[in-house]
Amino acid sequence: MVAVARLAEDIWREHFTPIIGADQVAYMLDKFQSAQAISSQLDAGTEYYLASVDGSLVGYTALVPDEPSSRLMISKLYVTKDQRGGGVGSGLLRFTESEGQTRHLTTLWLTVNRFNDGPIQWYLRKGFNKVDEVKKDIGGGFYMDDFIMEKYLK
């Protein structure tokens, strides 16, 4: 958990600070990406999967299965800057799709910050569609202003 929290901190500070600002990044790291938050998520049924290259942790995904609705939420999918474009994210997504199919789920879904253009375009290329928008108060005077995206599994 500590290693994932450190990785999240590196990725979030680099990638999200220009999008949502340093204060919101710090708040969200503490609330959603700290070792304590990850531990609580695991206890609640979130599943974490790690990606490594040459023995170094370079990315991770967190999945929240919802069998009754036949959906699998991609809660997190993050890759270090130096590994983006190298297939790590695609590998994590293929793994996620396989997990959904193995569990006989029909839909992958996620939320993505509406100003996070690169990942939005990546998800669109991977077969996801924008299906809705949500603006959620996460406390501390901060909001998540996201698109909801879905992909149907075959």
pLDDT for position 154: 82
Domain ranges, residue 101 = 2-152
Q: How confident is the model at residue 123 (pLDDT cuts 50, 70, 90)?
A: very high
Q: How confident is the model at residue 1 (pLDDT cuts 50, 70, 90)?
A: confident
pLDDT for position 49: 97
The domain that contains 138 carries what CATH number? 3.40.630.30
Mean pLDDT throughout 54-58? 95
In the chain, the number of structural domains is 1
pTM tops 0.85, yes or no = yes
DSSP letters, the chain, are -HHHHHHHHHHHHHHHHHHH-HHHHHHHIIIIISHHHHHHHHHTT-EEEEEEETTEEEEEEEEEEEGGGTEEEEEEEEE-GGGTTTTHHHHHHHHHHHHHHHTT--EEEEEEETT-HHHHHHHHHTT-EEEEEEEEEEETTEEEEEEEEEEE--
